[in-house]
Structure 1
């Protein structure tokens, strides 16, 4: 009796009782139990509180006890599953012999109504493959050409499909390609989920409005699958626990207040904090992806050992992808331009369009290090920079004067910004992806430096 067989049998039993398959934590408890691990070890490996793991385990043993007709607990789970396996094999052998249906040399003929555990388990396994998929991608933008992001796509697929991450923040400076990457990802993995929905937060819905929208999506879809039954509306978290879902929230920064440090919720939107925490900590089958210039303050900025919550900050495209963009505008051999605009797809398209409209000769008339700021690019930068607090604007003004980067010690020596405010501004600007760190030096992207100095 191997681990895979045990997990399959337990999943069938849980599904027969609850209509839901084993979630990640339940599977981790069973896996750890089979391997002789204590709850402390299971909790540590699952990045959960031990008391929470014990509570989930207790409920799981109760479900299995009711299905198997005996008292199941951690210490006897292995032996109970062995008895269940032997019982299943015995029942199956008795059934096929009684029906006279077993033939080693000819094709087996299975009557459609064999009332035994084998057919029940087969139907349960097949149900995973026949569940209807429901997609609402009406708010997902059609972004046309997609430029190579193989590494980022593979990372996100690993987090979502293999590690079952529950909460993912996709961040990056304006124009870097966050939404394009997410849209490409959704197209590639949508069939792995029962429900997929893309929600734009441009209108800044309250949590109640957002939850009502999702509940309506789930309930209407369930009615399509079972039109004869009156489906009772459930709290949103119940739908996310009941089904394997992918929910994308685009432009998450619209939930946060302007003129404050990054990630501070607007008045009336603080309930989102509790909702995101619920998504991270409760056991369910859903992945929630947040896309935007800012991320909630509770998200880790650096790499974390917690698989349930992840942050991916997008950087610029590589040279090959940058060349592909510029060729569309008739520009060749512009590697320096790609470096200057740091492989930002939107920035490259903006300046390439300007050059194309001017006949492509503008680069021959300007110094090599000139940074052009077309009006449409200025508008995009203004949208993001207008969200900054006053202390962040002061910090950027200081940094914009330093073309070669500056250390934190030098910034503190300046004295124009109190140390505590300066450190908070530094953290906030890092979360907004507006500054870069190279070793102990902080610097601004050349495009931002040019834009900010134009106002100083």
Structure 2
């Protein structure tokens, strides 16, 4: 089956299902997909938006799914058409049709039947285990961050990305939106929630079971042994998302120190960084592995994105949901809570329950700390070492930004320990640095003064 025949097959199926032939955009999407173009490239060639192309593609894959009796997506339409063709040609003996080049060609097999990896490296499959991925709720504008992550993954082929930020800032929500947009560019996609903190052995076994089980579904007659994890990552383009990665690290220690039972993850992340492969690991959490911070400046395939708060326009949409978009000084309220979606929802709930008048009873710089917000802050602060708590208390008591010299003068902490604590707090996204000056958010300052 060549490209012309593939388009003809799709046109016939679409006509049977809808009563209309492939339109120009549908044909461009299918043709571009079979030629391994990205949606972005197809949109550029056809002079339309990427979102329009994605929508047309999604509708087309749904039509083909109904006809083929399997889930069809951008990443597996080629192999799905191959399987459908084989199922329709019943008079061909087994082995008379082999997959090479662009599509199936009738003739002798190019590879001996029992040689591992006899399938061409570009043969595509599509398997997604997103059962642990949260549902996408309200998504507020994060276009620049989405573009950055998409570029790192699809254009720069980053092998390891850390998405970090304070609790409630929107890391997981952003990652869900990202996965929804780019999942069809991968052969395998899996989302793993690390709330349960699996050991490395358990985690690797889970991934290998996912990869090998999916392959057995594609090749029911194959009798292949499970490969080491890194071999799957090298052989296929995989997207692996690890949410709440901070659960691997010890509380009461500086940021990124593994719990003893999870030390082996260090070797996995180093292997992902060192060995050549087309796959990507996306780590989401309050902090990141120390080895990521050590190598990301030396290797463009290792990246870290620290997520900041929403801008005024996006954060105002949260207040609008609570009927507070038009209160006086709404922008000051957003600024005080740093555009953190969870923090804003917490204080907005308090204001709403009190009838909205609470904003008129306190000075503009008042920081309200609802109990649920205190609980959120406590969870993150409970992870700090005693040294970090001392430094955070010093920063909280300062009237504004404070430089390293003043911190040394105001404390009895040895200079090397103070510097390490500042670095760790920065890696946890709990303090901000501007030149030689350090400061903390108004919310965290209020909490630290009361709790530490």
TM-score (ref. length: structure 2): 0.73
Question: Where does residue 130 of structure 2 map in the other structure?
Answer: 137
Alpha-carbon distance between aligned partners in 2 of 1:171 and 1:332, rounded to the nearest angstrom = 28
Following superposition, the deviation at residue 301 of structure 1 comes to 7.3
What aligned pairs does 1:51-130 form with structure 2 within 5 A after superposition?
Answer: 120-123=100-103
Instruction: Give the aligned length.
Output: 342
Q: Which runs of 4+ in 1 moved over 4 A?
A: 124-130
Structure 1, residues 317-375: CA drift from partner, whole Å, max 9, x if none? Answer: 10000111110000024111100001001100110111111111110111111111111
Alpha-carbon distance between aligned partners in 1 of 2:252 and 2:104, rounded to the nearest angstrom = 54
Question: Where does residue 42 of structure 1 map in the other structure?
Answer: none
What aligned pairs does 1:210-359 form with structure 2 within 5 A after superposition?
Answer: 210-300=203-293, 304=297, 306-333=299-326, 334-359=330-355
Structure 1, residues 88-128: CA drift from partner, whole Å, max 9, x if none? Answer: xxxxxxxxxxxxxxxxxxxxxxxx9xxxxxx9433389978
Q: Contact between 2:136 and 2:177, CA under 8 Å: does it hold in 1?
A: no
Bigger Rg, which one? 1
SS in 1 for 2:189: strand
What aligned pairs does 1:413-428 form with structure 2 within 5 A after superposition?
Answer: 413-428=409-424
Question: Where does residue 161 of structure 1 map in the other structure?
Answer: 154
C-alpha change, 1:330 and 1:431, in structure 2 (3 Å) is same
TM-score (ref. length: structure 1): 0.72
Alpha-carbon distance between aligned partners in 2 of 1:265 and 1:303, rounded to the nearest angstrom = 19
Q: Contact between 1:264 and 1:296, CA under 8 Å: does it hold in 2?
A: yes
Alpha-carbon distance between aligned partners in 2 of 1:422 and 1:415, rounded to the nearest angstrom = 9
Question: Where does residue 184 of structure 1 map in the other structure?
Answer: 177
Q: Contact between 1:293 and 1:433, CA under 8 Å: does it hold in 2?
A: yes
C-alpha change, 1:301 and 1:282, in structure 2 (3 Å) is closer
Q: Contact between 2:208 and 2:228, CA under 8 Å: does it hold in 1?
A: yes
Q: Contact between 2:121 and 2:235, CA under 8 Å: does it hold in 1?
A: no
Following superposition, the deviation at residue 440 of structure 1 comes to 2.1
Indicate the larger mover: 398-407 or 130-139.
Answer: 130-139
Question: Where does residue 374 of structure 2 map in the other structure?
Answer: 378
**Residue 449 in 1 paired to residue 418 in 2?**
no
Alpha-carbon distance between aligned partners in 1 of 2:179 and 2:252, rounded to the nearest angstrom = 33
Following superposition, the deviation at residue 199 of structure 1 comes to 0.3
C-alpha change, 1:344 and 1:124, in structure 2 (3 Å) is farther
Following superposition, the deviation at residue 143 of structure 1 comes to 3.7
Work out which of the residue numbers 368, 373, 385 in structure 2 matches 1:389.
385
Q: Contact between 1:435 and 1:443, CA under 8 Å: does it hold in 2?
A: yes
Question: Where does residue 196 of structure 1 map in the other structure?
Answer: 189
C-alpha change, 1:297 and 1:123, in structure 2 (3 Å) is same
Structure 1, residues 226-254: CA drift from partner, whole Å, max 9, x if none? Answer: 11112211111111111100000000110
Work out which of the residue numbers 436, 439, 446 in structure 1 matches 2:432.
436
Q: Contact between 1:136 and 1:198, CA under 8 Å: does it hold in 2?
A: yes
Following superposition, the deviation at residue 298 of structure 1 comes to 1.2
Alpha-carbon distance between aligned partners in 2 of 1:426 and 1:168, rounded to the nearest angstrom = 23
Runs of 5+ consecutive residues of structure 2 not aligned to the other structure: 1-91, 93-98, 106-118
SS in 1 for 2:190: strand
Question: Where does residue 7 of structure 2 map in the other structure?
Answer: none
Following superposition, the deviation at residue 302 of structure 1 comes to 9.8
